[in-house]
Structure 1
Amino acid sequence: MTDRKATDRGQLVLLAAALAAAALVPMALAYLTLGAHPDVAATADRDRPGESTLRALDRAATNASAAVDRRPWREREETVTDFDAAFAGDARGIETARLSETVAVDVAYNATAATAWAETACPTGPNRAFGDCEVIEGVVVQDRAGEATPVAVGVDVRVVEPDGTTELTVVIRVR
């Protein structure tokens, strides 16, 4: 008789699991399709070209930093030259990416904004053995363990679209 109760209990658990799974399928389907219409993202980006440009510049700065070879601190100008070459290529792509939508973007370095950032926000602290930050042509480099490391870039961004013009000065922290 105990074998029959164990079998019944097992069948009951299996039935309950099947019902729960069947109930979760429509919920999961609704969750995955909610807000997944292709025009939703395109409309959001079209409404705020300045924000989409800043996201693209953030990625460009990160990519440029990854493209820089490790060099000693005394070769920091060469580090900035390499950073600039990689960043400029991505910036040109950002500037021309939305011309078909009549959106023009202009990106230029801003050494003044980079200097202000370096004076107030250069990474420091008791657990960091970092040197001072130096700004070269709008790129903030820092001496980290004897190596020149790009940490930020100051840029002026101008976005011209049919609805108007947006001008921004930002410092993009390299990740």
Structure 2
Amino acid sequence: MKNYLILAAGLAFAAPAATAQSTASATGAAAAPISAGQRKAAEELLAATDSEKNLSATIDRMLSAQLEQNPGMKAVEPEMRAYLTKYMSWPSMKEDMVQLYAREFTEKELRELTKFYQTPTGRKTITKMPELMAAGMEIGQKRMQEHLPELQQAIAEKLKSQPPGAVK
């Protein structure tokens, strides 16, 4: 179950612009209505960036990686897939993503981004991004593992200096 929760958390962060979405919802700010033009521009950007295909591929990659790391979870793969399809698939997330992009970018900016992603460099960016993100995550994980003893030592020293029961 713990590994399943890790997978779900990972998938949440894998979605495009998930950080901006969580920041907006964490502030509790009411979403301002978006114009029809802004909605259309956001939908066009998401189509130009192959968001539906990329989200599906990301979910498949992450689920496969999770099952490879935890072969015992293979028995619950159908349930995991059904859950992810229900809550993380493009049809279930599209409206939230449209709202997110429309909140973060003006209609003009959305159109400019769409133009960029339709260029050869923009198309290359889209195809390379998953590989770059995965490589960046590996770099970060490696760096964290290399320096984990430093964090562990700092935490241990802090805990030693705290009165008993102060840290929960």
Verify same fold: TM over 0.5: no
Please, what TM-score do these two structures have when normalized by structure 1? 0.27
Q: Choose 1 or 2 for highest CA Rg.
A: 1
Structure (1/2) with the larger helix percentage: 2
Structure 1 or 2: more strand by fraction: 1
